[in-house]
Structure 1
Amino acid sequence: MAKEKDSNLFEYTEDSIKSLDWKEHIRLRPGMYIGKLGDGSAPDDGIYVLVKEVLDNCIDEYTMGHGKTVEITIEGKQVTIRDYGRGIPLGKVVDVVSKINTGAKYDSKAFQKSVGLNGVGTKAVNALSNYFKVTAVREGKEKTAEFERGELTKEHKETKTSEQNGTMVSFIPDDSVFRNFKFHYEYLESQIWNYCFLNAGLKIVFNGKTFVSKNGLLDLLQRKTNEDEIRYPIVHLKGDDIEVAITHNNDYGEDIYSFVNGQHTTQGGTHQQAFREAYVKTIREFFKKDYDASDIRTGIVAAVSVRVVEPVFESQTKTKLGSLNVDINGPTMKQFVNDFFAKELDNFLHKNSAVADSLKKRIEQSERERKEMAGIKKLANERAKKANLHNKKLRDCRVHFNDEPPAKSKEDYISRQQETTIFITEGDSASGSITKSRNVDTQAVFSLRGKPLNCFGLTKKVVYENEEFNLLQHALNIEEGMEGLRFNNIVIATDADVDGMHIRLLLMTFFLQFFPDLVKHEKVYVLETPLFRVRNKQETIYCYDEGEKQAAIKKLGGKPEITRFKGLGEISPDEFARFIGADMRKQLMRLEQGDHIQALLEYYMGKNTMDRQEFIINNLKVELDKAEEAA
């Protein structure tokens, strides 16, 4: 053993230390720069981060007063983004997109409160693209450079042009990194709307469709709420470097959209926490009553946007703000937001007594409901605490979404947090297959014993009275809201039969009724697993519908063996690993603009109506027609 140790010691030499250049490091550790990879089926997949990184530069130009229009075109897998700002200085076109630590963002006079402070964004896009082309136009001249996976392939000479000033970037994401990817336009449109809400007057044209907002965050909240479900008209307040919009509805939980320098901070940060605390403090002082903080914030729907000099984000994907100061030598974020609320919100409530009365009624309703639940909540939490020590329902993972990343390898840890997933399964056979094949680092499994309770029309007491719901709530860590969520992806994994569909509906009812924030913030998915396995001696193809099955039969020829999977438990753990790994297919559960949660629940989970029967019959007919066509 001693000799073996000695030989290992001598193998560790200067030659063992590798220095990667910028593009090699990005390609080796893409998650550090763009979060999770994915295939485009989730709104935070890497291909949308690539689009965002290029767009951020366009928005910074607009913020600095240069160019009022941005054009985005997507044809197949190629993205082209054109702004009408100042254009990259022609002599630096190659350097700006291919040399780390090169860019105008380091000169804080040019970009005082920009999004892309570290100059990595477009370099990451370049390194992670099969093809990348940048053209800069300045004062009648243009310069173009072309790259493949970060390698410069052609640097064009400067030429004269009649084009307007600005920058155009065109890229095709690398399909060896983003496998089988596809752009879902609804995710891009949601992203584009956020840019418009945060930059009133900016016009973004996406594939010929124009997006523009006149009223900023007021428009955003109108889009996120339904007029007949809010308790009072949206309160819209603006100040230097801060804008907020606030209302309440009848939902449980908090629904807060936070932004820094135009960047959607989906994981919050110091500004969101400052908002939550300042709002509670101002309300208590206005009503001169020490309301419980949870009563004040239950049912809140709000958006807050701040502009900060040199913000410090937790990662390159900029989803969580870590900086505390608004200005380099100015007030802390907490003090800044608190001062704004103490003046502006207090003034508004004094001038609008009807809004103040409606707000007070909402707070007192929450207070009554909380007190009614106090006894059973305490008992249920004690039971859950004991159960958590030996919770047979939960097979946990090592990394969690709400962990504090370690100082060492922080970026790598944050990228793994994006992958954290909990599979909610039915029965022992399905959970057994997933448990054996999962990635224990980032994937957890919660096993249901059968069909959960239909909680439509019930109060939140049922979350505590029902042991299974209570344990699920604790596994997710959402009792106190989204802040402590332990998993970035909540995936419902049930059989693709009538019972499995029923369980999906019951779980969706649970989330929409009591934790709608999870659906609104696009955290809940349904796992798609193959219905068929078609194989011969040379090749095996897994098919997710009848059409794919027919295509596989045609491809393999002859008479291949066809297996129909009736349930998740029939798929072996070895096979299952490929369906929950890099190529996992999952369908996002999302609310469309104008959807009413209570109306949706009434339609699907209420008394059996003729409308619903007609809906089921019509959709069943469509599926049968598709199957017949494929056959």
Structure 2
Amino acid sequence: MAQETKYTEDNIKSLDWKEHIRMRPGMYIGKLGDGSSADDGIYILLKEVLDNSIDEFVMGSGKTIEVSIQSSKVIVRDYGRGIPLGKVVDVVSKMNTGGKYDTNAFKKSVGLNGVGTKAVNALSSYFRVESSRDGKSVSAEFDQGNLVNKEDLEQSSRRRGTKVTFIPDEVIFKKYSYRNEYIEKMLKNYVYLNPGLTIMFNGEKFYSEEGLKDLLSDRIREEDRLFPIIHLRGNDIEVAITFSKAQYSEEYHSFVNGQNTTQGGTHQTAFREAIVKTIRDFYKKNFEPSDIRKSIVSAVSIKVMEPIFESQTKTKLGSTDMGGDLPTVRTFISDFMKQKLDNYLHKNNETAEQLHRKILRAEKERKDLSGIRKLAKDRAKKSSVHNKKLRDCRIHLEDTKKEGYLETTLFITEGDSASGSITKSRDVNTQAVFSLKGKPLNSYGLSKKIVYENEEFNLLQAALNIEDSLEDLRYNNIVIATDADVDGMHIRLLIITFFLQFFPELIKEGHLYILQTPLFRVRDKKETFYCYSETERREALKKLRGKPEITRFKGLGEISPDEFKNFIGDDIRLDPVMLDKYKSIPEILEFYMGKNTPDRQNFIIDNLKVEIDLVEEVKEEINEVK
């Protein structure tokens, strides 16, 4: 019989604001991470500070924001109105304190809960805020949310505005580093949504005149567009639409009050429905939604009074109403599209004809594939019960109200030994494993038909739930976990080719990664170091005494489950797969998977040579130690 545990007043504890944030950071900034993913906490900290500066611009104050990041130190300076001087400390250190509760001052603000800068403060080892206005200045410095210094200047020549400096705390964010690619994308989204705003980042200028039209121009090259970008604007709404020649599935970029809702929400669902309804009405034909939206690349931005999001990180809109006396989100977007898109198609006959031909091609392809799709779906249903390829997890990306949804990960492995090690050491709540049987098919140049004909591709597509769009993607991170040898590199390339060929938006949106696994284990009787590079191996040898044991890991199957948990847990190292912004997807595929041109041969030889040289050098050193 279990012994009864005492439950008294001593068990009841109250944490102050900073203690609660530091104990439960996931509640405020989503996942922690090391900076390898765009939704890691260090970027959320930057976003929370930037949102306040953006709101100043929206309110008509301050056309320039300066951002500087050097190593781990972040500085954000705006030229807005400045925080009221008597409230500088309160605004960054008292929960539920802020100007955005006054809806007259901030009617359609991003940050409405008064938490943002407090979370940044509490999660930083150094945090400094300075406000200048009316010829005066007040600054305050904090350490992990604790006020350590405050300075008031009765006279100041500094330009009005707010300057925030912070260093994310390494106690919370371990071994992190900022990636400029993620920051640049964030800043570009800010200027696309706020035409006329200038953001300077480490000396580089970001500026947009045509809003969401510029966003699509940056995402899809002119030669890859089916027709010129349709750009529509109205009160509290902006839309940009085109269709791609180089991808099959749907791609959406949605925003609410300047916040990139990467998980979509009620506005994105309404937008997808409105496109179908408007186009059906225009052509007076009851086309299938998938035929209409196939290959769409689009963006929608709306402004809502006091929006309700499904998580603190504001990645999915839950609001059904626009606020005030305005209609529902669905009705608002539907009415706008019915009027504006219909008018555009009537005025632009060539675009209307190209769109019509595109829909008819999609319809023909769907009918041609209907038989094989049905067979593939039936096979997938049967195999989902018996199939051993997928070891699923309990939480998925759509579970936005469950803690850990941003950590959801699918490991794509090759071979039974590697998948077995990961399966035994994974977190069953958030980590799933999909096991390939040998090398996957080279899908370069093949049609979508192959996704249904090839059992592994079909099951992978079903596991990810991405047949038509990313809206129902089941895992935030898709991680290719293969051996770091020639065969492993080839398998990586074949998997990346599959995603580039059929689901490039998955890579564009930063969901695909390569798992880094240690090359060496260096240990003595007291300590063990796992080394991911030659430099780390040398540093480990310096820390150990005597003749340490050096093990070279040849493949994932050699690493025991007990050891593997060290590499896919809190200290996981991921390399994001990113697209070269100067090259189109067809160009990238041609270079890597086309005929063996001299350029491709030289690239492969140069990259393999590094690996071969490293192996030979280590063999010699191991022999010397022995």
Give TM-score, length-normalised by structure 1.
0.96
Question: Where do 1:148-227 residues align within 5 Å?
Answer: 148-227=143-222
Q: Is 1:604 matched with 2:600?
A: no
The answer for the alignment partner of 2:136 in structure 1 is: 141
Q: Is 1:462 matched with 2:435?
A: no
Q: Distance in 2 between matches of 1:547 and 1:42?
A: 24
Q: Distance in 2 between matches of 1:627 and 1:261?
A: 53
Q: Distance in 2 between matches of 1:75 and 1:476?
A: 37
2:578 pairs, out of 569, 579, 590, with 590
Q: Which amino acid aligns with 2:327?
A: P
- The answer to whether the 8 Å contact 2:250/2:468 transfers is no
Q: Is 1:568 matched with 2:564?
A: no
- The answer to whether the 8 Å contact 1:197/1:215 transfers is yes
Q: Offset of 1:458 from its aligned partner?
A: 1.2
The answer for the alignment partner of 1:285 in structure 2 is: 281
Q: Is 1:98 matched with 2:86?
A: no
Q: Is 1:122 matched with 2:117?
A: yes
Q: Distance in 2 between matches of 1:395 and 1:628?
A: 37
- The answer to whether the 8 Å contact 1:72/1:205 transfers is yes
* 1:423–1:328 Cα change, 3 Å: same
Moved more, 473-482 or 69-78: 473-482
Question: Where do 1:352-501 residues align within 5 Å?
Answer: 352-403=348-399, 410=401, 413=402, 415-501=403-489
Q: Distance in 1 between matches of 2:169 and 2:61?
A: 31
Q: Which amino acid aligns with 2:531?
A: C
- The answer to whether the 8 Å contact 1:223/1:594 transfers is no
Moved more, 126-135 or 591-600: 591-600
Q: Offset of 1:623 from its aligned partner?
A: 6.1
Q: Distance in 1 between matches of 2:302 and 2:582?
A: 27
Q: Offset of 1:618 from its aligned partner?
A: 3.5
- The answer to whether the 8 Å contact 1:132/1:171 transfers is yes
Q: Which amino acid aligns with 2:342?
A: D
Q: Is 1:39 matched with 2:37?
A: no
Q: Offset of 1:557 from its aligned partner?
A: 4.8
Count of residues in Structure 1 that have an aligned counterpart in Structure 2 = 618
- The answer to whether the 8 Å contact 1:235/1:245 transfers is yes
Q: Offset of 1:628 from its aligned partner?
A: 9.8
Q: Distance in 2 between matches of 1:280 and 1:527?
A: 39
Q: Offset of 1:440 from its aligned partner?
A: 0.6
Q: Offset of 1:459 from its aligned partner?
A: 1.1
Q: Distance in 1 between matches of 2:362 and 2:612?
A: 47
Moved more, 283-292 or 554-563: 554-563
Query: What CA deviation, in whole Å up to 9, does each residue of 1:361-394 have, x standing for no partner?
Result: 1111111111110001001111110110122111
- The answer to whether the 8 Å contact 1:133/1:169 transfers is yes
Q: CA RMSD in A?
A: 1.6
1:228 partner SS: helix
Q: Distance in 1 between matches of 2:266 and 2:18?
A: 32
Q: Distance in 1 between matches of 2:610 and 2:518?
A: 20
Q: Offset of 1:566 from its aligned partner?
A: 0.2
Q: Is 1:301 matched with 2:291?
A: no
1:579 partner SS: coil
Identify unmatched segments of 5+ residues in structure 1: none
Q: Offset of 1:441 from its aligned partner?
A: 0.8
Question: Where do 1:223-234 residues align within 5 Å?
Answer: 223-234=218-229
Q: Which amino acid aligns with 2:494?
A: L
Q: Distance in 1 between matches of 2:73 and 2:596?
A: 47
Q: Is 1:53 matched with 2:41?
A: no
Q: Is 1:246 matched with 2:234?
A: no
Q: Which amino acid aligns with 2:458?
A: N
The answer for the alignment partner of 1:263 in structure 2 is: 259
The answer for the alignment partner of 2:624 in structure 1 is: none
Q: Distance in 1 between matches of 2:597 and 2:200?
A: 42
Moved more, 538-547 or 267-276: 538-547
Identify unmatched segments of 5+ residues in structure 2: 622-626
* 1:530–1:468 Cα change, 3 Å: same
Q: Offset of 1:281 from its aligned partner?
A: 0.6
* 1:206–1:378 Cα change, 3 Å: same
Q: Offset of 1:486 from its aligned partner?
A: 1.0
Q: Distance in 2 between matches of 1:626 and 1:61?
A: 53
Q: Distance in 1 between matches of 2:51 and 2:616?
A: 47
Q: Which amino acid aligns with 1:504?
A: R
1:70 pairs, out of 61, 65, 69, with 65
- The answer to whether the 8 Å contact 1:546/1:627 transfers is no
* 1:355–1:513 Cα change, 3 Å: same
2:512 pairs, out of 524, 539, 545, with 524
Q: Offset of 1:622 from its aligned partner?
A: 6.0
Q: Distance in 2 between matches of 1:481 and 1:185?
A: 27
Q: Offset of 1:476 from its aligned partner?
A: 1.1
Q: Offset of 1:514 from its aligned partner?
A: 1.3
Q: Offset of 1:629 from its aligned partner?
A: 11
Q: Offset of 1:627 from its aligned partner?
A: 8.6
Query: What CA deviation, in whole Å up to 9, does each residue of 1:434-453 have, x standing for no partner?
Result: 01110011101111111111
Q: Offset of 1:624 from its aligned partner?
A: 6.7
Q: Which amino acid aligns with 1:207?
A: N
- The answer to whether the 8 Å contact 1:308/1:326 transfers is yes
- The answer to whether the 8 Å contact 1:226/1:594 transfers is no
Q: Distance in 2 between matches of 1:254 and 1:480?
A: 6
Q: Distance in 1 between matches of 2:582 and 2:343?
A: 31
- The answer to whether the 8 Å contact 2:294/2:468 transfers is no
> Equivalent pairs: percent with the same residue?
64
Q: Offset of 1:466 from its aligned partner?
A: 1.0
Moved more, 66-75 or 545-554: 545-554
Query: What CA deviation, in whole Å up to 9, does each residue of 1:105-130 have, x standing for no partner?
Result: 00000001110011110000001001
Q: Which amino acid aligns with 1:348?
A: Y
- The answer to whether the 8 Å contact 1:142/1:161 transfers is yes
- The answer to whether the 8 Å contact 1:476/1:487 transfers is yes
Q: Which amino acid aligns with 2:164?
A: V
Q: Offset of 1:305 from its aligned partner?
A: 0.8
Q: Distance in 1 between matches of 2:128 and 2:559?
A: 44
1:303 partner SS: strand
Give TM-score, length-normalised by structure 2.
0.96
1:337 pairs, out of 328, 333, 355, with 333
Moved more, 154-163 or 228-237: 154-163
- The answer to whether the 8 Å contact 2:61/2:80 transfers is yes
Q: Which amino acid aligns with 1:388?
A: S
Q: Distance in 2 between matches of 1:476 and 1:456?
A: 20
Q: Which amino acid aligns with 2:498?
A: F
Moved more, 616-625 or 502-511: 616-625
- The answer to whether the 8 Å contact 2:141/2:148 transfers is yes
Q: Which amino acid aligns with 1:43?
A: A
- The answer to whether the 8 Å contact 2:17/2:94 transfers is yes
